């Protein structure tokens, strides 16, 4: 209030975004985005989820500066120290490596898994689902039966099978998870497509002479993306847990890589006497999974196409 010029400027860009008469496509898009943000902001828990996810990104990006130690530097004299020890605030593991620094570097791996799985699974699901839903007939039958086959296996078991075939390692774990994650997305995209397929605006596009590829790309996919984004966000927790599970079973990240699941796996031998070695990465996994869930819930409220 004591700086009228600043508050004046604020109202102007707000008014620009919320105007009913935007002057360009970009302004209209930004305005739409801003309205969504205003609505999202009202959900406190979702904002908390978003903040934690943003924190994860920041930590992953600046890991070398945030970490207090080299995550791979062993110091057997300082092994299995409890949390709160000066210099190793989250304690150390069985090789005397700093748990905090390993968590910070582990954030990179977690984030990489999440991004890569989303980048592989969501587009496959979107493409398969919209194509099946729009075309119908034999293409629908074939694509959906393939989807059913994938859905019939529990995803961790299927991922295990893939990793066993491809060989252990973080890259193969990601590919395996992505290959097991797409079928639900295909189902969602197909269901959405079927409700959209017969709408009047699709009929208009067909009358204007639009080809199938254009209808899928410009008309159907934008409407499916919203529910997919929500679903992918909600699935992130599961993906992180699957990755951690593979890491725990020794089929994901390989030692000495700082991956949260592998850290729990290594710490489980000491769980009775030095509980923190396994617990601290566990807390990290829970926190990030929960954050993605909260974020997904908030996004669903904003993006749900059935509203408005």
Partner 1 sequence: MIHVRDLTVTFGQGTRSVRAARDVSFTVAKGESFGLVGESGSGKSTVLRVLAGLNPYWTGEATVGGVAVAGRDARLPRMVQMVFQDPYASLHPRHTVDRALSEPLEIQGIGDVGPRVERALTDVGLGPAFRFRYPNQLSGGQRQRVAIARALMLEPKVLLLDEPTSALDVSVQAEILNLLRRLRQAHGLTLLLVSHNLAVIAHMCDRLAVMNRGQVVEEMDVATLRRQEPREAYTRQLLLASRGYDREVAAGIVTYD
Which residues in this chain contact partner 1 in the complex, by CB under 8 A? 20-25, 27-28, 32, 199-201, 203-210, 214, 218-219, 222-223, 305, 308
Q: How far is the CB of 8 from partner 1 (least distance, A)?
A: 24
Return the half-sphere exposure (C-beta side, CA atoms, 13 A cut-off) of residue 214.
10
> How far apart, in whole angstroms, are the C-alpha atoms of residue 256 and residue 240?
19
Q: Is the dihedral of CA 267, 272, 276, 281 positive or negative?
A: positive
- Residue 205 or 241 having the CB closest to partner 1: 205
Q: How far is the CB of 39 from partner 1 (least distance, A)?
A: 13
Q: How far is the CB of 219 from partner 1 (least distance, A)?
A: 6
- Residue 3 or 24 having the CB closest to partner 1: 24
DSSP assignment of 186-243 equals: HHHHHHHHHHHHTSHHHHHHHHTT--HHHIIIIIIHHHHHHHHHHHHHHHHHHHHHHH
Q: How far is the CB of 37 from partner 1 (least distance, A)?
A: 16
Q: How far is the CB of 169 from partner 1 (least distance, A)?
A: 40
Q: How far is the CB of 22 from partner 1 (least distance, A)?
A: 4
Q: Residues 195, 134: contact at Cβ < 8 Å?
A: no
Q: Residues 90, 98: contact at Cβ < 8 Å?
A: yes
Residue whose C-alpha is closest to residue 18's, from 33, 4, 40, 1 = 33
Q: How far is the CB of 14 from partner 1 (least distance, A)?
A: 16
Q: Which residues of 26-41 are buried (b: 16+ CB within 10 A; e: fewer)?
A: eeeeebeeeeeeeebe
- Residue 3 or 21 having the CB closest to partner 1: 21
> How far apart, in whole angstroms, are the C-alpha atoms of residue 114 and residue 173?
12
- Residue 196 or 263 having the CB closest to partner 1: 196
- Residue 36 or 169 having the CB closest to partner 1: 36
What angle do the packed helices 155-166 and 170-197 form, to 10 degrees?
Answer: 130
- Residue 182 or 219 having the CB closest to partner 1: 219
- Residue 20 or 273 having the CB closest to partner 1: 20
């Amino acid at each position: 209030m004591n700086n009228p010029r600043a508050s004046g400027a604020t109202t102007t860009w707000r008014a620009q975004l919320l105007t009913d008469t935007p002057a360009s496509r970009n302004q209209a898009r930004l305005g739409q985005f801003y309205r969504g943000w205003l609505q999202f902001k009202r959900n406190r828990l979702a904002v908390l989820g978003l903040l934690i996810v943003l924190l994860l990104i920041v930590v992953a990006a600046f890991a070398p500066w945030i970490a207090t130690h080299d995550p791979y530097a062993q110091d057997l004299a300082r092994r299995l120290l409890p949390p709160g020890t000066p210099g190793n605030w989250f304690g150390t593991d069985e090789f005397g490596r700093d748990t905090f620094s390993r968590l910070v570097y582990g954030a990179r791996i977690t984030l990489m898994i999440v991004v890569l799985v989303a980048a592989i699974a969501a587009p496959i699901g979107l493409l398969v689902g919209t194509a099946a839903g729009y075309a119908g007939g034999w293409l629908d039958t074939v694509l959906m039966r393939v989807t059913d086959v994938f859905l019939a296996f529990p995803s961790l078991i299927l991922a295990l099978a893939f990793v066993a075939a491809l060989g252990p390692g973080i890259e193969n774990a990601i590919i395996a998870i992505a290959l097991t994650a797409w079928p639900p997305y295909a189902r969602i995209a197909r269901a959405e497509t079927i409700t959209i397929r017969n709408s009047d605006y699709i009929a208009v596009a067909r009358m204007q002479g639009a080809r199938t590829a254009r209808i899928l790309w410009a008309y159907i996919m934008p409407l499916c993306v919203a529910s997919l984004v929500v679903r992918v966000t909600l699935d992130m927790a599961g993906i992180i847990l699957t990755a951690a599970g593979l890491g725990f079973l020794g089929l994901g990240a390989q030692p000495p890589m700082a991956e949260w699941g592998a850290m729990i796996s290594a710490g489980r031998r000491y769980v009775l006497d030095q509980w923190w070695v396994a617990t601290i990465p566990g807390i990290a996994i829970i926190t990030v999974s929960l954050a993605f869930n909260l974020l997904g819930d908030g996004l669903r409220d904003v993006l749900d196409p059935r509203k408005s």
